[in-house]
Amino acid sequence: MSLSEIFVRSIGNRIWLAYKGEYGILEWYRRLAALWMADDETLADTRLRSLKAILSHAGETTAHYLQLFRQLSFDPRGVTSCNDLRELPFLTKEDLNGNMDAFLSTSYTKTDLTCSSTGGSSGLPLTFYRDKAAQAVRRAQDFLFNAKLGVYPGTKRAWVWGARMDAFSMRSLKAKIANFLGERAIYFFAFDATPEKMDEFLKSLQRHRPEAVFAYPNMLAALAQRARETNLVMQPISKVIVTAEPLYNWQRELFRQVFSAETFERYGAREIGTVASECDQHCGMHVFEPSYCFEIIDEAGNNVPNGQMGELVVTDLFNYAMPLVRYRTGDMVVMDDGYCSCGCTWRRIVGIGGRVVDMVTRPDGSRVEGLAIVNALHTSGVRLRVQVVQTTPTSLIVKHLASDRIPEPARDAFAKRIRETLGDAVTVSYEPVEQLRYDPSGKYRYVTSECR
């Protein structure tokens, strides 16, 4: 461990968090870390206290839950476990998009909150709000999952990422100081992966020598393959941590061969944070038990047993600004509660379906993360559930439900963004369908490329 890493980890990052008014992240980290090996009774008691508190808050300060609880004669004070949530209906992205203000707590003004949006990873984008305390909890969750993999503040890292809101800007002195006192990171924007930019980033990796790389697995695989094609022998990287897309065994092996890296998978969503992370035993992703109530349901809404795939439903126990109760994520998972030799008592996601996206191909042969297409839909105002198919390097088909209508202004804006991303020769057509299907493995393919 270098002297600079020791300084940042033990002193520098604490000073920076205090300066930013974010020292509560470390306090939450200590509280949550104490529950890593907690017994079932302790976890259940912790969740119950948090659940009753946020349900009471929701019933008193949000228009939606105030009306719902009255209609159902539901009293949060009588809740005895997460199972009692079954008395309440599911919450969908359509519900939130249809009447966002009804779900916002009157205890806050919007200026007090962090506003963000999803990219539509389950086919439908969502704008949401989070209060400062919830922000601190989400950051603490990341701190804890990282720490369990030996990644701390000050540990050099690189990001192969696509969300512009997460991009690192080093233009100001303050930004450079923040980066040094936190992640000491370099950044590759995955939505613009020309061969020249890939080569430049691979060389930056050689100079920076990060201990960890956080990445979309598809784009990192493309970078690894580019290193092979150019006969570039990469400096060893200790850990690769991937999320946002399914991770395949061939990618783990590729990262091991090219980067000498051990790979860890994560699952999360922007509206609810990093929900689960793989430990060093590689037997599934531990779900963050203290922060959520989890349900796995079938198409009819019934709970499915461990070992069977179903849709993940989450109740967030900490976002008081916009309480999410029985929120349907749209992602298909398999849950297991068996013993893990790492000592953590939290359950594990051992299989995951949804959020499948291919990389797409430009007419010049370069490749782009498929999430760039989802981002283009979202920023164009297309807020319906769709699936996009690339049939040739110059043509995209947007499939949407026949009952839905995509307005012409949104179509025009999407076509413009596609041309900016893929090139002027690319055309977009639309195909109404009766149903947007999951594949047999439970995956919702929202961007698919037939160009191989």
Q: How many residues does the chain have?
A: 452
Answer yes or no: do 144 and 286 share one domain. yes
- Residue 380 has a pLDDT of 85
- Residue 124 has a pLDDT of 59
Do residues 243 and 268 touch, judged by C-beta distance below 8 A? yes
- Residue 361 has a pLDDT of 87
Answer yes or no: do 58 and 170 share one domain. yes
DSSP secondary structure of 27-41: HHHHHHHTTTT--HH
CA dist 330 and 343 (Å) reads 30
| Local structure of 413: helix, strand or coil | helix
pLDDT in tens, the chain (452 residues): 789 899 999 999 999 999 999 999 999 999 999 999 999 999 999 999 999 999 999 999 999 999 999 999 999 999 999 999 999 999 998 898 888 899 999 999 988 888 877 655 445 567 889 999 999 999 999 999 999 999 999 999 999 987 554 555 666 888 888 888 888 999 988 766 788 989 999 999 999 999 999 998 888 988 999 999 999 999 999 999 998 877 888 899 999 999 999 999 999 988 899 999 999 999 999 999 999 999 999 888 999 988 888 899 999 999 999 999 999 988 888 999 888 999 999 999 998 865 556 778 889 888 787 778 877 887 788 877 788 999 999 999 999 989 888 999 999 999 999 999 899 999 999 999 988 776 554 456 778 888 86
Answer yes or no: do 335 and 404 share one domain. no
Answer yes or no: do 267 and 376 share one domain. no
Domain interval for residue 306: 1-350
- Residue 441 has a pLDDT of 43
Considering 294, 328, 350, which residue would you say is the last residue of a domain?
A: 350
CA dist 344 and 267 (Å) reads 17
CA dist 332 and 177 (Å) reads 40
H-helix or E-strand containing 433?
Answer: strand 427-433
Considering 324, 350, 376, which residue would you say is the last residue of a domain?
A: 350
Domain count, the chain: 2
- Residue 77 has a pLDDT of 93
Answer yes or no: do 92 and 135 share one domain. yes
CATH number of residue 5's parent domain:
3.40.50.12780
Considering 316, 350, 384, which residue would you say is the last residue of a domain?
A: 350
Answer yes or no: do 111 and 129 share one domain. yes
- Residue 214 has a pLDDT of 96
CATH number of residue 390's parent domain:
3.30.300.30
Answer yes or no: do 344 and 363 share one domain. no
- Residue 164 has a pLDDT of 53
Answer yes or no: do 425 and 389 share one domain. yes
- Residue 306 has a pLDDT of 87
Answer yes or no: do 164 and 297 share one domain. yes
Give first-to-last CA distance, the chain, whole Å: 43
Answer yes or no: do 202 and 136 share one domain. yes
Using the 8-state DSSP alphabet, how is residue 290 labeled?
G
Answer yes or no: do 26 and 110 share one domain. yes
CA dist 118 and 286 (Å) reads 23
Answer yes or no: do 50 and 99 share one domain. yes
- Residue 356 has a pLDDT of 55
